[in-house]
Chain A
Amino acid sequence: MNRPGGRGPFLSSNNVQEVSDAVIEEMEAAKSHQSPSRRAWRRFRRNKLAMSGLFFLVFVVLLSTLGPLIAPDPLAVDLAAVLRPPGWEHWLGTDQAGRDVFARVVSGGRVSLTIGFASAISTVLVGLVLGTIAGYRGGAFDWFFMRLVEVVLSFPTLVLIIFFVTRFGRSVTSIVLVMALFQWPIAGRLVRNMSVAVKELEFVQAARAFGAKGFHVAVRHVLPSAVGPLTVAGTLLVAQAILIESALSFLGFGISPPTATWGTILNEAQSLTILETMPWLWIPAGLLITFTVLAINFVGDGLRDGLDPRASEMT
C-alpha cells in the first residue's frame, strides 16, 4: 500500500508536504528554545477546527456572561405577549408565559456552562487526587482503586446521577458534586496509569535517591506529566457534563423551574403544537448545546494533537 502515487493510507503526496513542514517547524522551534507549552500552542493554532472551536466557545461564554446585561429579565412574565414569534422587541420570540426566549437562552447558557466547567474541574480534581495516590503508592490502595473504577463504570451513571440529584436537591452545587462523584473514574484511571509509568523513570528515581519525600515527588515530578492528558480529558468532560445536565433538565430532573438552562428550555417546549408551529422555542437552545459541545470537542482534539504530536501521527 506504499506504492508511489498509490491510494494507500500511509503517505499521500500532500501528506508528505504537511509532515515535512511540521518537522521543519518543530526543529526550528526546538532551536529557538521554545517552551513545550508554547510549541503546543503553536501546533494548536495551526489546527483550523480547534481554532474555530475556540472562537465559538469564547463567543458562547461572552454571550452568556454579557448577554444577560442587555437582555430583558429571563423570569419576567408578560401575559400580554405570549408565544410571540421572533421580532425586534423579542429577538427570539416569547414562550408560553410571555418570557423573552433570547433572555432565557443566554441566562440558561450561564447556568449550563457553569455546571459544565465546574463539574469537569471537580471531576478532574477527584480523579487527580485518587489517581496520583493509587499510581504512586501502588499496593492495596491501587488494587482497591482499580476495582472501584470498574464498579463505578459498570453502573448506568445517568440513572445514578438522577437518583442522587432527586434525593439530595436539584441545585447547581448538588448537580456538580454528584457528577464529580460518578464521573471521576476515567480521569482517575488516566492519572493512575500516568503515575505508574512515570514513577519508574530515571528522573523520578533520581529525586527519590536524593531523599525527596513521597508527597513532594508526586506533586513536583509525577503530576506535571499528567497535566497534558488530563487537560484533554477535562475538556471532553466539560462537553459531557453539559450534555448530561441538558438531558437531566430536559427529563425534568435537573435544575428546577423557573430557572432557565438549555435543558429546561427544551423541556418546556415538549409538545406537538410547539414542535410544529413554534420552532423558536426549541431550536436555539438545542443548536447552542450541539455547537458548544462540538466546539469543546474540537478544542479537546486540538489540545491532544498539540500536546502530544506523536499520538496524533498514529491516527
Chain B
Amino acid sequence: MGRYVLRRLLTSIPVVTGIMLLSFILVQSMPGDPLLMLIPPDLLQGAEGEAFLAAQRERFGLDDPLIVQFFRWVEELFQGNLGFSFHLGKPVTEILADRAGASLILMGGSMLVALVVAVPTGLVAALRRNRFFDYVASAIGMSVIAIPSFFTALAVIYIFGVKLRWLPPGGMGEEGIGDFLIHAIMPIGVLSAALFGPYMRYTRQSALEVLNEPYITAARARGTSRAIVVGKHTLKNAAIPIATVTVVQIPLLVGGAIVIEKMFAWPGTGLIVFNAITTRDFPVIIGFTLLVALIVVLSQLFLDLFIGWLDPRVRIEGAQ
C-alpha cells in the first residue's frame, strides 16, 4: 500500500505543475500590469503611489526571466494569494471564499440527489435489460443530456415560478431552513437532472459488466438470494466506476452551476465568475479555474488512494 500511495502521489506532481503553468500562461496573457493584481489598489493613490509602484516593480523583479517569475507566483499561490480583483479591489481568495459555501451546497446537493435517483434507476435498468423499464430509463437519461440546462431552468421558472407560483423564481432564501429548502428545489432539481443522465448510464453499464462476471453466476449457482447478489456483489463492484464518474464530471458540474446560479440568482461563486466575465475581471476568472482544477486533481488523487485501499488489484496494476 505504501508504495502505491507514493507512486500515485508522484504522478500527481506533473499534473499539478501543468495546471499551475497553464494558469500562469493565462495570467501572462492578461491585458494590463500584473503588479496591479498583487497590490491592494488603495496603496496606489497619488504620487507616493507612483513611487511605491516603481519600488514594488523593482522588488518583485518584473524584468526577471519568466521562469523566475513563475516560481515567485507559485510561492504566492501556496500562501493563498491568487491576486486581486480588478473591480472589487479585494483579494480573489477572499471573494471566492465568501461565496464558496452557497456553490458547494448547490453542487453537493445536486450530486447527492442525482446519485440517489440515478444509481437505483441504472441498477434496475441493468437487471431489466431490453425491457420496458430499461427503455424508459435510457430515454429519460438521453433526453436530460440533450436538454440544455438553461432551457430546463427557463421552463421550470415558467411553470413553477410564474404560472403556478409554487416556488420562488430566484435567490437563496435567508429566513430559516424551510425558506432555504423552498428556494433550493428548482436550482438543485435542474442541476441534478443534468447529472442524472451520465450517472444513470454509467451505473447501468458498470452493473451490466459486473453481472456478466463469473462470480455473479457462481453466487447465483450457490443459491444466493437475488437481493444479496444485486445489493452486495453487484452494487459493491459497480461502485468504483460510479465514484470515478462523479469525480470526472466535476469540471462539467462547475460549468453547469455557473449557468444555474445565473438563472436562479443563487449567490455562489458561479455568479461571481459570471459577473467577473462581464466586467472582464480576469484575475477572478483565472483564480477560479485554477482552484477548480486543483480541487479536481486532489479529489482524483484521494479517490484513487481510496480505491487502492479497497481493491488490491489496483495497487499491483502498473507497478512493473
Query: Given A154-B15, A166-B280, A282 and B146 touching (CB < 8 A)?
Result: no
Q: Which of A274-308 contact B (CB under 8 A)?
A: 275-276, 279, 282, 286, 289-291, 293-294, 297-298
Give chain A's interface secondary structure class. Answer: helix
Who on chain A is nearest to B280 by CB?
A166
- Let me know if B26 and A276 touch, CB within 8 A: no
Q: Which residues of A contact B127 (CB under 8 A)?
A: 9
Who on chain B is nearest to A236 by CB?
B145
Q: How far is the CB of B97 from chain A (nearest CB, A)?
A: 18
- Let me know if B158 and A275 touch, CB within 8 A: yes
Query: Given A147-B15, A275-B162, A276-B163, A159 and B146 touching (CB < 8 A)?
Result: no
- Let me know if A159 and B289 touch, CB within 8 A: yes
- Let me know if A297 and B146 touch, CB within 8 A: yes
Query: Given A151-B22, A290-B146, A294-B143, A163 and B289 touching (CB < 8 A)?
Result: yes
Interface residue B258 (Cβ < 8 Å from any Cβ of A)? yes
- Let me know if A246 and B293 touch, CB within 8 A: no
Kindly identify which residue among A9, A156, A272, A291 contacts B162, using a CB–CB cutoff of 8 Å: A272
Interface residue A65 (Cβ < 8 Å from any Cβ of B)? no
- Let me know if B151 and A155 touch, CB within 8 A: no
Who on chain A is nearest to B125 by CB?
A9
Report, as a range, how many residues of chain A touch the other chain: 35 or more
Q: List residues of chain A with CB under 8 Å of any chain B CB.
A: 1-2, 7, 9-10, 12, 14-15, 147-148, 150-160, 162-163, 166-167, 239, 243, 246-247, 250-253, 266, 269-270, 272, 275-276, 279, 282, 286, 289-291, 293-294, 297-298, 314-315
- Let me know if B148 and A159 touch, CB within 8 A: no
- Let me know if B148 and A243 touch, CB within 8 A: yes
- Let me know if B254 and A156 touch, CB within 8 A: yes
- Let me know if B15 and A150 touch, CB within 8 A: yes
- Let me know if B146 and A239 touch, CB within 8 A: yes
Cβ proximity bits B225-248 to A, threshold 8 Å, 1 near / 0 not: 010010000000000000000001
Who on chain A is nearest to B209 by CB?
A314
In whole angstroms, how far apart are the Cα atoms of A14 and B18 in the complex? 52
- Let me know if B154 and A286 touch, CB within 8 A: yes
Kindly identify which residue among A157, A239, A272 contacts B255, using a CB–CB cutoff of 8 Å: A157
In whole angstroms, how far apart are the Cα atoms of A133 and B138 in the complex? 37
- Let me know if A276 and B254 touch, CB within 8 A: no
Q: How far is the CB of B248 from chain A (nearest CB, A)?
A: 8
Interface residue B147 (Cβ < 8 Å from any Cβ of A)? yes
In whole angstroms, how far apart are the Cα atoms of A148 and B25 in the complex? 14
In whole angstroms, how far apart are the Cα atoms of A148 and B300 in the complex? 16
| 9 A-B pairs in the complex with CB atoms less than 8 angstroms apart | A150-B15, A155-B22, A156-B289, A158-B252, A163-B26, A163-B285, A251-B274, A290-B148, A314-B208
Interface residue B217 (Cβ < 8 Å from any Cβ of A)? yes
